[in-house]
Amino acid sequence: MHIAQIGESVLKQQAHEVPADAFGTIELKNFTEGLLKTMLDANGVGIAAPQVFDGRAIMFVASRPSPRYPSAPQMEPLLLINPRIISQSENWVWEWEGCLSVPALRGFIQRPDQVEVSYQDTDGNPCQIEFTGFLARIFLHEYDHLIGKTWLDHVTSTEQIMAESVWLRQIAGITGTAH
């Protein structure tokens, strides 16, 4: 799958719900497997369907240490279909974010540090989960893709943007480059 890059119109479009008759289908299974592979191949910690030119409300949260996020916590990839925010904390935290659709840049973005979410699994079963810390940030970042936003929509100053190579060296303390 090809990852949409900033400036492509799909990244500004609102995703649509996956209909009930799509759950449990081979097409949905194949699409979500391809979406996960695309994210893993790109060293991402999350991805949303609009990032691969698909307008459905589908995303993965898949935190793990990687060259892009060396201190990320390890978790099994979690597929969320038709996610909805139930609640979020009033405590907001500033942190640097990157995006597979905004290559070579990082943004210093403020987000809630806790979010409670409802979603459906691949069979259409209703599920609920609470994310905190970095996992909440990943969810909210991917959720933004479902509502036609990227982290750039949260920037209020150019001082909140940094080249990823500079971020890796100055903030993360990593030498060399990550792709």
Q: What is the amino acid identity at position 33?
A: E
Length of the chain: 179
Based on the residue annotation, tell me whether 142 is a catalytic residue of this protein. Answer: yes
SS (H, E, C) 49-113: HHHHCCCECEEEECCCCCCCCCCCCCCCCEEEEEEEEEEECCCEEEEEEEECCEEEEEEEEEEEC
127 carries a ligand binding annotation: no
Task: Kindly give, in sequence order, each residue whose CB lies less than 8 Å from that of residue 171, ignoring residues fewer than 6 positions away.
Answer: 96, 106, 162
145 carries a ligand binding annotation: yes
- List the catalytic residue out of 17, 142, 159, 164: 142
Residues with a catalytic annotation lie at 142
User: Binding-site residues, please?
Assistant: 99, 141, 145
User: Binding-site residues for Fe cation, please?
Assistant: 99, 141, 145
